[in-house]
Structure 1
Amino acid sequence: MRLTKYGHACVRLEEGGRVLVIDPGNLSGPGVLTGATAVLITHEHEDHVDVEQLTAARKNNPALTVHTHPALASELGDGVSAVEVGDTFTAAGFTVRAVGGAHAEIVDGLPGCPNIGFVVEGVYHPGDSLFVPDEPVHTLLLPSSGPWIKHGEAITFFRAIGPARAFPIHDAHHSEVGRENFDAWLSDEEGGKVYARIPVGASVDLP
């Protein structure tokens, strides 16, 4: 399986001609949905779903499937598949399990919106949450910045998951200094053997 990192929280998984894109938001960059077979969206915030880009992609490719939580599915219109926490389904030929259910709190109960994390054959994208799933995770897409998370929480989350490898996402809010600081903290975990940053537009092949 090939994993490609796009801007902020967006990644692309490819294997055998199948292309699955997760959270193509307004910070992801152009062309992230080109050739996509299916899309997973964790929640409604625009840095995770660019509705205009998604609508155009669906118009250009009516076979493109979209999967998200029921409230957002109804907003996005006909043909979007609503998935509930605990569901196991197939997207672009990959087996996916929906986990979690709620966006991490920023303050005073806000934003208070649904957030579904997705475990795609051992690759975990939590969206804006720190939910620890029951199933094994070999590759963690680790949120690294935002108003709802701090470094210590990211490290605790990383430890709780215990993945074979971890790559940072949700990183558009970081300055260069912030990225270096975050990477240094995470690289200290397990002697730097697990954590690595994928440059935007670059790919890694997962075993």
Structure 2
Amino acid sequence: MRLTKFGHACVRLDTDGGAFAIDPGVFSDPAALDGVEAVFITHQHPDHCNDPELRRLLEDQPETRIYGPASLTEVLGGLPFTVVGAGDAIAVAGTEVKVIGRHHAVIHPDLPVVPNVGYLVDGVFHPGDALTVPGEPVRVLLAPVAAPWMKLSEAVDFIRAVGAPVVHPIHDAILSKDGIVIVDRVLTDLIGDPFQRIADGAAVTV
């Protein structure tokens, strides 16, 4: 399976059976959606769910399936999608996507906590905006490293709790170039060899 990072929290997974994307948001390259058979959205925030691009996708490829929590109706309106929740499993592109988790991390006590699901694909875990530990083996963790709702120590604790042998940072569009250098240095010092950055537009085999 080939994993390509398309900016911020968006990744595309290509298998021998097809391709699908997770969390194509407003900070992501729309090329992630070219030819996909499915799109998985963790939650409704625009940096994970780019409504105009999804509408264009369905206009060009009406057979594409979109999956996500029921709260996506707040941003997608009448756009068709399949509601998924924790415990579901979806067959796509010759593999299986397991749905894990229920809630977004707390941004601030004054703000409502929106639904958020994570996706586990053949050992590759994308948590969305949550620090949910899957409770089953993860071989590649896509770890959020910068957000209004987190501090770097939380990312370290989450990475250690999951215990994946490979960790690729995501959710980093709010970082400057210097900020990325600092975050990567700290995480490399604290996590070690498992921490491996994928440049935007680059791919790895998992």
The bucket for the TM-score relative to the shorter chain is: over 0.9
Superposition TM-score, scaled by structure 1 size: 0.94
Please give the alpha-carbon distance, in whole angstroms, between the structure 2 residues aligned to 1:110 and 1:130. Answer: 18
**2:182 is matched with which residue?**
181
Deviation at 1:73, TM superposition (A): 4.9
RMSD (Å), alpha carbons: 1.5
Runs of 4+ in 1 over 4 A off after TM superposition: none
- Matched with 1:122 is 123
Matches for 1:28-47 after TM superposition, within 5 Å? 28-47=28-47
What SS is found at the alignment partner of 2:90? strand
Percent identical residues: 44
CA distance in 2, matches of 1:24, 1:44: 11
CA displacement at 1:37 relative to structure 2: 1.1
Alignment map for 1:16-165 (pairs within 5 Å) = 16-73=16-73, 76=76, 77=78, 79-165=80-166
Alpha-carbon separation, structure 2, partners of 1:79 and 1:110: 28
Does the 8 Å contact 2:15/2:93 carry over to 1?
no
Q: Which runs of 5+ in 2 are unaligned?
A: none
TM-score normalized with structure 2 length: 0.94
Please say which of residues 111-120 and 72-81 is displaced more in the overlay: 72-81
Aligned equivalents of 1:135, 1:73: Cα separation in 2: 30
Contact 1:101 / 1:114 at 8 angstroms: preserved in 2? yes
Q: In the aligned structure 2, how far is the partner of 1:34 from the partner of 1:112?
A: 32
Q: Name the SS of the counterpart of 2:20 in structure 1.
A: strand
Deviates more, 1:140-149 or 1:65-74: 65-74
Aligned residues: 205
Task: Kindly state the Cα deviation for residue 75 of structure 1 after the two structures are TM-superposed.
Answer: 5.4
Q: How far apart, in 2, do the equivalents of 1:205 and 1:101 lie?
A: 29
Query: Tell me, what secondary structure is at the counterpart of 1:129?
Result: coil
8 Å contact from structure 2 (residues 20, 93) kept in 1: yes
Aligned residues of 1:73 and 1:81 also touching (Cα < 8 A): no
